[in-house]
Amino acid sequence: MPQILHGLAVQTEILTSLQPRIAKLTRPPGLAVMLAGNDPASEIYVRTKIKACADLGIFSEKIAPPETATTDELVAMVEDLNRRSDIDGILVQMPLPKHVDSRRVLEAVAADKDADGFHPINVGYLVSGRPAPRSCTPAGIIEMLKFYQIPIAGQHAVVLGRSDIVGKPMALMLLHQNATVTICHSRTQNLPEMCRQADILVAAIGRPAYVTADYIRPGATVVDVGINRITDVAEGLRLGRTEESVRKGKAVVGDVHPLDMARVAGAYTPVPGGVGPLTIAMLMSNTVELAELHQNAG
């Protein structure tokens, strides 16, 4: 039987470890979350993040500019948050409305308030191995592998996907843990063969159930970062979801075929319930770390 890598146990350990650090601070850490527009998935994510803050004793503030807000207006709001002493971390929920220059808004966040670890300065610190906020999802995956005592050093890790949010920082973090890392993407030739070489396969390509048994070496550890909603009943049944869950809009699958993953992998993250809880946990961790930085500097 494969080992199922549930995220909630890891999340609980991370959040529990933050509580004494928060208690030592002179004021609660502060996180501002900017949500522009009316994307339903984004609204759910933001609610989850704000609830996690409340449960931990982190002050949170939701900034909700209208869908019509311009790039300049959003940048001005971020700059106001940069100046506030009660805000330690700023998160700009993606995606922003299509007319907005997302890069300008993200890069307006001060590097020492970058709760998501996306700022070019913090990415540079990641490359050079210096302390800084880390991109939450890949950082959570490293914590999960450690929690479940999955060996990383000396292992061949294949990262499927090259996004700035997951793929690239994931490859760097695995490299810092002494894995041998291959990055694959849509232009990679012989993709199944390349992925089959992996001791650890991280799938973050954004295509539902794209990675099938042909991509997985028997016994490998598979980390499925994707979350894709299934609306077609026949497809849902083929992927092991119930007709009821599809009709209620609750059927989700990752980037890896769930039945193939359970059959071939030695260990794997389920979707949902695998990587998702860790992204929240590492956002909280980044916010506490930034609060410590600010209060020690003050």
State the catalytic residues. 49, 93, 116
Residue 85 vs residues 10, 27, 290, 294, 295: alpha-carbon distances, Å = 31, 11, 12, 9, 10
CA distance linking residue 250 with residue 294, whole number of Å: 41
| Contact criterion met (CB below 8 Å) for 196 and 149 | no
- Structure token digits, residue 297: 């500097």
H or E stretch covering 103: helix 102-108
Q: How remote is the C-alpha of 221 from its chain's centroid?
A: 18
State the residue for tokens 């090259």.
162
End-to-end CA gap in the chain: 52
Query: Rounded to an integer, what distance in angstroms lies between the CA atom of residue 226 and that of residue 253?
Result: 7
d(CA 269, CA 6): 6
Collapsing DSSP states into helix, strand and coil, what is residue 43?
helix
Which helix H or strand E contains 238, and what residues bound it?
helix 233-238
Instruction: Answer for the pair 224, 255: CB distance below 8 angstroms, yes or no.
Output: yes
Distance CA 63, CA 214 (A): 45
Residue pointed to by tokens 């490299």: 175
User: Which two tokens mark 148?
Assistant: 């479940």
Residue type, 256: V
